[in-house]
Structure 1
Amino acid sequence: MKDFGLKKLYYSISEVSKITGLEQYILRYWETEFEQLKPSKNRAGNRIYTNKDIKLILEIKKLLREEKYTIEGAKKILSGLNKSPEKDNFAVQNDMTPEKNGKRELKEDLEEIKKFLIELKEKL
């Protein structure tokens, strides 16, 4: 992934296209095929991608382009990552119930926002 200097919280589809090396129409198509890829939209209705969305896109690209999976095969792998028994056992052993896991993700997002704001303040 290219480094554009300041890490952002949200990226436009054109920025994600440049970062991932994929055409915008491919990104839009993948949204219809992969249920995990659902970028939010801003007030103007434009897609806004997070860093997690970009990581997912790069994983999909790797599965399809490098590892030569079909879209259906890539869907199975991605859904398997979310529902694997090993992951469920790990979650239970580490007390990562969906509620606690959601709080953990929120905490990680807030830490990322905090880091972003500190970096922004330092640049001003």
Structure 2
Amino acid sequence: MPYKEKKIEKYYYSIGEVADMLGVNTSLIRFWEKNFDIIKPHKNKKGNRYFTKKDIENLKLIYHLVKEQGMTLDGARKKIAAQKEDLAENFKLVESLTKIREMLVEIRDMLD
């Protein structure tokens, strides 16, 4: 099995890095920050936003509800407030399965 370097995990991510992860504009992330109470990025003295892994998970959940399922902002806000734990659990499961699928496809391609 080939050697894989351990991925270095960061504690804080800039708004640009988060926007690249989600494939959206930074303005959309700022907009979601204003509209959803679950997103609380840290800000430095200059006002730059720094997001934790928890913030990124919440943004991914919002992205899933709004962009992939087509919910309105109000509908997504209500759903998150009512079923936050269940939604987060289900979303983590879907993410894990997606990563497993990607890994299996990569293995299949290596074997071909």
Q: Scaled by the length of structure 1, what TM-score is found?
A: 0.60
How far apart, in 2, do the equivalents of 1:82 and 1:73 lie?
13
Deviation at 1:44, TM superposition (A): 2.6
How far apart, in 1, do the equivalents of 2:67 and 2:79 lie?
14
Structure 1 alignment gaps of length 5 or more = 85-124
Cα deviation 1:6-36 (Å, max 9, x = unaligned): 2100000011011111100000000111111
Q: Scaled by the length of structure 2, what TM-score is found?
A: 0.66
Counterpart of 1:62? 64
Cα deviation 1:51-94 (Å, max 9, x = unaligned): 0100100100000011111000000011112489xxxxxxxxxx
Structure number with greater CO (CA < 8 Å, separation at least 6) is 1
How far apart, in 1, do the equivalents of 2:17 and 2:78 lie?
28
Residue-pair matches, total:
80
1:74 aligned counterpart, secondary structure: helix
Structure 2 alignment gaps of length 5 or more = 1-6, 87-112
Runs of 4+ in structure 1 off by over 4 angstroms are: none
Counterpart of 2:74? 72
Cα deviation 1:94-117 (Å, max 9, x = unaligned): xxxxxxxxxxxxxxxxxxxxxxxx
